[in-house]
Structure 1
Amino acid sequence: MCCSGFLKVMMFIFNGGIFLAGAGCLAMGIWLKVDSGSLLGLLEGIEDGDGLDQLVHVAYVLIGVGAGLVVIGFLGCCGAVKESRCMLLTFFIIVLVIFIVEVAGAVVLFAFDGLADKILNNVENEVRSKLQTEFGRDESLTSVWTSTMDRFKCCGYRNYTDFTDSPFNIGTGGYPGACCSENVEAICRTSQVESSDIPGCFEKLKEFLEENALIVAGVALGIAALEIAAMVVSMILYKKAGKRD
C-alpha cells in the first residue's frame, strides 16, 4: 500500500512536470504567433519550397506540442488517481509514440545541422528583392520591418543597401531610421547611414534561432527524461492494478 502510494506521488510529479513543460511550449507558441515584432515575422509572405515554411510556422508546432503534452500530463494524473488500467495503458502508448517521434526529430536535427542557416541564405535574394520593390509601398511589410529593425537594432536583410532604390528611398531620399547609429526618428540620410555600422537582420535572426534552439533542446531533454520515468511508473501501476483485478 505504501509502495503504491509512493508510485502515485511520483506519477503526479512526473506528469506535473510534463504538464508544466507543455504549458510552457503552448505559451511560447502563442507569444510567437501574436508578437508582430518577432524576427520570424520578417519571413512571412516569402514563398520558398526549401523548408522555410517550417520556420515561419514554428509557432503552430509549439502550440500543437504544448497542447499534446498538457493533455498527456492530465491523462497520466487521472490514470494514477483512478488506477485505471485502460487510462494507464493509453497514457503509456501515447507517451511512447511521442518519445519515438522526439528521438527521430533529434536525429534529423543532428543530421541537418545548419539547416536554418542554409534556408536563410536560400531566401536572401527574394527577401532583398521584396525590400527594394515593396518597402515604403506595402504598408504591412513596411510596418513589420520597421518595428523589427527598431526593436532589434538591425538594418535590412544584410545591410542598408537592401533599401537602395526602394519606394522609401526614392520617395524620401534616405533610409529607415534604424539604419543610423545616431538617434534618428524616421529617415537616415545617405551620409549618416554610410558612417553607421548597423548589422543586418539576417545575423539577428540567426542569433535568435540559435539561442532558442538551445532552450528548446534543453527543454526537450528534460521532457524526455520525465517521459521515460512516467512510462516506467505507469507500467508498474498498470501491473499492480491488474493483480488487484
Structure 2
Amino acid sequence: MVIIAVGTLLFVIGFIGCCATVRESRCGLVTFSAVLLLVFATEVVVVVLGYIYRAKVEAVVNHSIQKVYNEYKGTNTDAPSRAIDYVQRQLHCCGIHNYSDWMNTHWFIESKNNSVPVSCCKPSISNCTGTLMRPGDLYPEGCEVLVVKKLKDIM
C-alpha cells in the first residue's frame, strides 16, 4: 500500500513538472524542483536511518521474542499464540534458538505433556504431535535468527 501511495505521489510530481515545462512556468518549475529536492532529502534520511537502526534489530527482536514466547497459551484466540504458530509454520522453525526453548515457557510447564506446539512439526511428518520424544519430527532451527534475517532483508 505504501509503495502504491509513493508511486502515485511521484507520478503527480512528475506530471506537475511536465506541465510546468510545457507552459514554461518559472514558478511551476521552481515548485517542482523544490518538491523533488524534498523527496530526495527524505530518501536520504530514510536510507541513513535504516542503516543506523539495522544494527539494533537483533536486540529488539531478542527482547520481543522472549516476551511473546512467555505469553504463549496454545490457543488460536490470543495474539501471541497465533503469531508464534504463524512464524514457526512460515519460517520452518521451532522455539527461540531451537525446540528445547519451549521447556522454559509457562505453556510447557503448565501443559505437562512433554511436547512443543504442533506448529513446530515438519509438514512432511504425518500425525506429528510435537512430542519431545521424537525430535526428528520437529524443525531443528530456532526462529530468532530467521526473524532477524527476514527483517534485515527488508531493511
TM-score normalised according to structure 2 size: 0.70
Q: C-alpha displacement at 1:129, in angstroms?
A: 1.8
CA distance in 1: counterparts of 2:108 and 2:75, whole angstroms: 5
Structure 2 distance, partners of 1:185, 1:160, is 18
Aligned in 2, Cα 1:101/1:26: closer, same or farther, shift over 3 Å? closer
Change (3 A) 1:167 1:87: farther
**More helix by proportion, 1 or 2?**
1
| Equivalence for 2:74 | 135
Select 2:44's aligned residue among 103, 106, 125.
103
Q: For residue 191 of structure 1, what is the amino acid of its counterpart? A: M
> Which residue of structure 2 aligns with residue 85 of structure 1?
26
Structure 1 residues 198, 98: closer, same or farther in 2, change over 3 A?
same
Larger relative contact order (CA 8 Å, sep ≥ 6):
1
Partner of 2:3: 26
Alpha-carbon contact 1:180-1:198 (below 8 Å) kept: no
Q: Hey, what's the Cα distance between the residues in 1 that align with 2:96 and 2:17? A: 46
Structure 2 match to 1:114: 55
Which residue does 2:147 correspond to in 1? 205
Contact 2:125 2:137 in 1 (8 A): no
Identity %: 24
The whole-number CA distance in structure 1 between the counterparts of 2:27 and 2:57 is 42
Aligned counterpart for 2:93 among listed residues 154, 157, 172: 154
Give unmatched runs, 5+ long, in structure 1: 1-22, 28-62, 214-245
Relative to 1, partners in 2 of residues 1:105 and 1:87: Cα closer, same or farther, differing over 3 Å? Answer: same
Query: Is residue 64 of structure 2 the alignment partner of residue 123 of structure 1?
Result: yes
- Structure-2 separation of matches of 1:157 and 1:124: 7
Cα offset for 1:96? Answer: 0.7
- For residues 174-223 of structure 1, the C-alpha deviation after alignment (integer angstroms, 9 at most, x for no partner) is 2223323452466311212377452222112122122223xxxxxxxxxx
Deviation at 1:137, TM superposition (A): 6.5
Q: Contact between 2:75 and 2:82, CA under 8 Å: does it hold in 1?
A: no
Mapping for residues 46-85 of structure 1, pairs under 5 Å: 65-85=6-26
| Alpha-carbon offset, residue 153 of structure 1 | 0.9
Supply the distance in 1 between the matched residues of 2:144 and 2:118 (Cα, whole angstroms): 18
Contact in 1 for aligned 2:17/2:28 (Cα 8 Å): yes
Contact kept in structure 2, 1:175 and 1:193, CA below 8 Å: no
2:116 corresponds to 1:175: yes
Gaps of 5+ in 2: none
CA separation of 1:147 and 1:86: change in aligned 2, threshold 3 A:
same
The answer to whether the 8 A contact 1:179-1:193 is kept is: no
d(CA) in 1 for partners of 2:88 and 2:69? Answer: 15
**TM-score, length of structure 1 as denominator length:** 0.49
